[in-house]
Copies of this chain bind each other. A is one copy, B any other.
């Protein structure tokens, strides 16, 4: 099944709002094997909407629309649906029941806007909106499905996952598709693909996409076939073969972030961590404390930006700073050991580097970062050379730090 997704709204066309609805819907449809071939964003005028409906309905099996279903004068989608399918609005009892339920739960009075929301295209079927008063609109013929939904993200997301995905899955004929994404860091696309050797032999008909970002490469495996029960076991097999070759670089699956994984591993092992950051400026602490329950393992972080704070707060020797420089293996190790000692944690982690865009020298260029770690079995520091963009150097150094903690716990 081939789909087009139409998102309606002037706020999208002037760049005021980032279109997250598209990615959400696309992700959900991809999971059930429906290919989105085109996404279109248009203004909330009848003319633009009808023209987009015509184009899409002619070329695709599934047309999904979001936006313009509210009760105000900007919201013209419901009327456009009537015009397009040659039908008209009339009161619909089940839609009214839902509006009444929602207003009463909010202690809100009945209004003209509420009345307007109970009107529904005669030829269409309503799609239940658990969180809002605008019903979704479903029009089907033998070959095609048309679905219009509200643009409010949480209403739309709930409607898609609870109503639309089951509805479309039931209509699916063609091959099912399953995908799995393995997340790596600290390794380049080219090294990964060298390590894999004969990729076709490894994949045996499945597809593998390399998706690089500044902090790592994601590996997306796609399997496709008529018998959906076989696909998960094929994904498992291929994941197993990828892990044989590159398992040490893989920190997570799907949406897992490195800090989620490191946090979970620390909890499982009953370990605690303290961080001493220079060039990352608090970013590692910020990431670790984004996780609910992080107070179980995150004890403290010292952002020791000045040399004086490295000496007084972390016990780094002035000698080491004078002799080796603040950006050096010796200072990185001393920072990690220092923060671990004063915080009394299982692990101490440190960063020191030159984030740029100024401050580099020939010997110590912008992007040079040392990441240090200390734990019960000793300490070490690793050297990295990142790019020139300040934020990107911080992001990459933070990922390198978290990854060092992960590998240390796994003795990789």
- The chain A residues found within 8 Å of chain B, CB to CB, are 11-20, 22-30, 35-43, 48, 154, 179, 181, 209, 211, 220, 275, 277, 280-286, 288-290, 292-295, 298-306, 308-309, 312-313, 342-343, 355-358, 389-391, 394
Contacts and interface: CB of A to CB of B under 8 A. Distances in A.
Question: Number of copies of this chain in the oligomer?
Answer: 2
A389 B154 contact: yes
B303 A285 contact: yes
A286 B15 CA distance: 27
A341 B30 CA distance: 55
B281 A289 contact: yes
Contact of A19 (B22, B28, B304, B355): B22
Contacts of A38: 13, 40-43, 48
Q: Is the interface of A mostly helix, strand, loop or mixed?
A: mixed
A27 B16 contact: yes
Contact of A23 (B17, B40, B305, B355): B17
Q: Which 8 A-B pairs have the closest CB atoms?
A: A281-B289, A282-B285, A15-B27, A15-B26, A282-B282, A301-B303, A39-B41, A300-B309
B22 A15 contact: yes
Nearest to A385: B107
Contacts of A220: 16
Contacts of A300: 302-306, 309, 313
Given A18-B18, A303-B282, A394-B290, A26 B13 contact: yes
